[in-house]
Chain A
Amino acid sequence: MALRIAVCVKQVPDPETPASAFKVDESVNRIVPAPGIPPVVNGFDLHAVEAALRIKDAGDAEVIILAAGNDFVMDVMKKPLSMGADALVLAEDPIFEDIDAVGTVKVLAAMIEKTGPFDLILGGRQASDWDQAHVPLGLAEKLGLPSVTLARNVEPQDGVVRIERALTDGYQVVEAPIPAVVTVSNELGEARYPTLRGIMAASRKQPERLTLDELGLTANDLKPDLSLRRLFIPESESQVEIIEGEDEADAGRKLALRLRELNLI
């Protein structure tokens, strides 16, 4: 029987935006989108999509992408489809700009209830915008499922999922009963690039959309417990001493001498 796998993904500003183009509008506590730099699907979420697709490649699985957010760019959000996912389900509402993780978890849990049941629910280890690394964990608690983080390999077996969990020095093998929530890390290996065929197939697929109402939620259910009071770019003054020389090798030599002079090496 085919496994059903949900992958939760998020649209985020491109984290490779150069620091010089990274701007904050302090009057509304928002990031100013960098001109000409489109948003992306959060990188670790693409690793989660890759993990799901590897399971699909190895056997039989249906991979469904779930996302809650605002101002979706369809070319961006369809990337998991063009990588090979089967369906895309979106909940899009301006209210999602200002909800906290407790709210996000409520929305995703309702989406899972509508589109489930699932054997596995995957997500990235952390989103590159707010860096909280906790929505999948919340989802697991809300749904009453076990959770395992930082997967570098995800392998469903008879009634359990076997996960290699990345540690800073090595890894652990952890087993959890299915259904389970798993967060995926970049140690899994690169996410596949969409093929031309994949892109064509994705262009023909339309996302399924769910409204707040259809999810059985109201704005009141999503009032944040944690709210952003202030967002700003910390001041930093460069104090760098640039070591110069007759040529690059000489500069390298002088750098060593300077560090020795200060007893640093």
Chain B
Amino acid sequence: MAGILVIGEIQDGAISAVSGELLAAAGKLVAEGVSGGVSLAVMGDDLSAIMAVQAPGADRVIRMSDPALKDEGTGGYDAPVLAVAALNESISPDIILFAKTDFGAVAGPRVAFKLGVAVAQDCIDVALDSETGRVAVTRPVFGGNALGIYDFNGDGTQVVTIRPGVFDPVEGEGSGTIEDFDVSDAVSRVRAVLVETIVQDSEGVRLEDADVIISGGRGLGGPAPFEQLQELADLLGGAVGASRAACDAGWVDHSYQIGLTGKSVKPTVYLSVGISGASQHMAGLSGARNIVAINKDDNANIFKSARFGVIGDWEKVLPAFTATVRDLAG
């Protein structure tokens, strides 16, 4: 048993940025003394364009190509889970790292439980305990209200999923080896099948890419005020987001939801209107650079993380804010 297996992801035909973040986490463990090298596994239907040079930080790149692995096999992720389990059997890593993406949050635990070992989800740090030679991880718990440091006991494979956006991807060019691993037999045992995917095309700027986000919560009191948020977002070339409370109330679609169980965003300015700033909401904002809050409650949690705030009724504050923005633009 040796080394670190990093489960990379393919996006638009290339190794995703998040995979680079995983390689950085692996690099940290190697620097702390984990031996056996770092292998990056990638999956897809056609990986002929994937080269080791695209994976700095990986000693070897392992391509697993199969039609069943197109778009992560989607649905229940059966195919990639079976593929990783087969690869694990062949190379027996000490540590397997996934990203806590839609895919990794499911595939990581499924692989771990298939091996009968523990998994630590959504970690923001990994470290080697020099005494035990085992991994310790840090992860937000209770919606981000607290942090837990966990130890892997025993001697089983240590499966970890890493929160995206925490590690800086390894830069430069890769110099590892490249090989193909045949999974055609393993992926033939798929059970959950994808029937169709219905994508809700959002108009305008995607939340994940937006540089300015105007976000509304329960304090808005209904769906109509979101039109005012949209108007302001349009003025600033931004996008509109929401808290879960506003989505659950049906005021906006769930695709607007930001937070632990919604989207993670990284705008320069995040203007929250009538949002209390529950830790589960803030969990989606670790990449936001300037949080600005309009809230009538001076005790609201959002003011703990905000850089700028106005304490007041949004119905009075926001129109004046928007009018000033329009004047400045005009």
Residues of A bordering B, CB below 8 Å: 13, 15-16, 18-20, 22, 24, 29, 31, 100-102, 105, 125-126, 128-134, 137-138, 140-142, 146-149, 162, 165-177, 180, 185-187, 190, 223-234, 236, 238-243, 247-253, 255-260, 264-265
- Chain B positions within 8 Å of A250 at CB level: 320
Query: What separation, in Å, do the CA atoms of A147 and B323 have in the docked complex?
Result: 51
- Does A255 lie within 8 Å of B292, measured CB to CB? yes
Q: Give the interface segment out of B30-38, B137-145, B167-175.
A: B137-145
- Chain B positions within 8 Å of A231 at CB level: 141, 146-149
| Residues B249-288 near A (CB distance < 8 A) | 254-255, 260-263, 268-269, 278-280
- Chain B positions within 8 Å of A13 at CB level: 142
- Does B319 lie within 8 Å of A169, measured CB to CB? no
Closest 10 CB pairs of A and B: A134-B109, A252-B320, A225-B118, A256-B324, A248-B312, A141-B113, A248-B316, A252-B317, A249-B320, A252-B321
Partner of B317 from the list A148, A166, A255 (CB cut-off 8 Å) is: A255
- Does B113 lie within 8 Å of A174, measured CB to CB? no
Apart from the given pairs A13-B142, A129-B141, A250-B320, 17 other A-B contacts in the complex at a CB distance below 8 Å? A19-B304, A31-B142, A31-B146, A132-B119, A147-B192, A170-B200, A172-B198, A173-B195, A174-B192, A177-B191, A190-B248, A223-B153, A226-B119, A227-B150, A232-B147, A234-B146, A255-B294
- Does A105 lie within 8 Å of B113, measured CB to CB? yes
Query: What separation, in Å, do the CA atoms of A149 and B292 have in the docked complex?
Result: 34
- Does B321 lie within 8 Å of A22, measured CB to CB? no
- Does A264 lie within 8 Å of B269, measured CB to CB? yes
Query: What separation, in Å, do the CA atoms of A175 and B263 have in the docked complex?
Result: 25
Smallest Cβ distance from A115 to chain B, in angstroms?
A: 21
- Does A172 lie within 8 Å of B306, measured CB to CB? no
- Does A142 lie within 8 Å of B317, measured CB to CB? no
Closest B residue to A102 by beta carbon equals B118
> With A15-B280, A174-B193 in contact, is A187–B76 under 8 Å at CB?
no
- Does B261 lie within 8 Å of A186, measured CB to CB? yes
- Chain A positions within 8 Å of B309 at CB level: 240-243
- Does B196 lie within 8 Å of A240, measured CB to CB? no
> With A31-B142, A175-B195, A252-B317 in contact, is A226–B149 under 8 Å at CB?
no
Query: What separation, in Å, do the CA atoms of A233 and B199 have in the docked complex?
Result: 38
Smallest Cβ distance from A135 to chain B, in angstroms?
A: 9
Query: What separation, in Å, do the CA atoms of A173 and B321 have in the docked complex?
Result: 43
Listed A/B pairs (15) with beta-carbon separation below 8 Å: A19-B304, A102-B116, A131-B122, A134-B108, A141-B113, A162-B195, A172-B194, A231-B141, A243-B309, A248-B316, A248-B320, A249-B316, A249-B320, A255-B317, A265-B212
Closest A residue to B81 by beta carbon equals A141
Q: Is the interface of B mostly helix, strand, loop or mixed?
A: mixed
Q: How many A-B residue pairs have CB under 8 A?
A: 262
Smallest Cβ distance from B286 to chain A, in angstroms?
A: 12
Closest A residue to B313 by beta carbon equals A248
Interface centre among B117, B202, B309 (most CB of A within 10 A): B309
- Does A259 lie within 8 Å of B308, measured CB to CB? yes
The verdict on B301 contacting chain A, using a C-beta distance below 8 Å, is: yes
- Chain B positions within 8 Å of A125 at CB level: 261
> With A173-B195, A265-B269 in contact, is A22–B142 under 8 Å at CB?
yes
Query: What separation, in Å, do the CA atoms of A15 and B244 have in the docked complex?
Result: 13
- Chain B positions within 8 Å of A22 at CB level: 142, 145-146
- Chain A positions within 8 Å of B110 at CB level: 137, 140-141, 147
The verdict on B151 contacting chain A, using a C-beta distance below 8 Å, is: yes
- Does A174 lie within 8 Å of B195, measured CB to CB? yes
- Does A141 lie within 8 Å of B75, measured CB to CB? no
Query: What separation, in Å, do the CA atoms of A1 and B269 have in the docked complex?
Result: 56
The verdict on B303 contacting chain A, using a C-beta distance below 8 Å, is: yes
Partner of B113 from the list A16, A137, A249 (CB cut-off 8 Å) is: A137
- Chain A positions within 8 Å of B156 at CB level: 225
- Chain B positions within 8 Å of A131 at CB level: 121-122, 139-143, 260
Partner of B308 from the list A166, A185, A233, A255 (CB cut-off 8 Å) is: A255
- Does A169 lie within 8 Å of B199, measured CB to CB? yes
Query: What separation, in Å, do the CA atoms of A31 and B142 have in the docked complex?
Result: 9
- Chain B positions within 8 Å of A101 at CB level: 109, 118-119
> With A128-B143, A227-B150 in contact, is A173–B311 under 8 Å at CB?
no
- Does A239 lie within 8 Å of B307, measured CB to CB? yes
- Chain B positions within 8 Å of A147 at CB level: 76, 110, 192
- Chain A positions within 8 Å of B195 at CB level: 162, 172-175
- Chain B positions within 8 Å of A162 at CB level: 195
Query: What separation, in Å, do the CA atoms of A100 and B105 have in the docked complex?
Result: 17
Query: What separation, in Å, do the CA atoms of A130 and B139 have in the docked complex?
Result: 9
- Chain A positions within 8 Å of B150 at CB level: 226-229
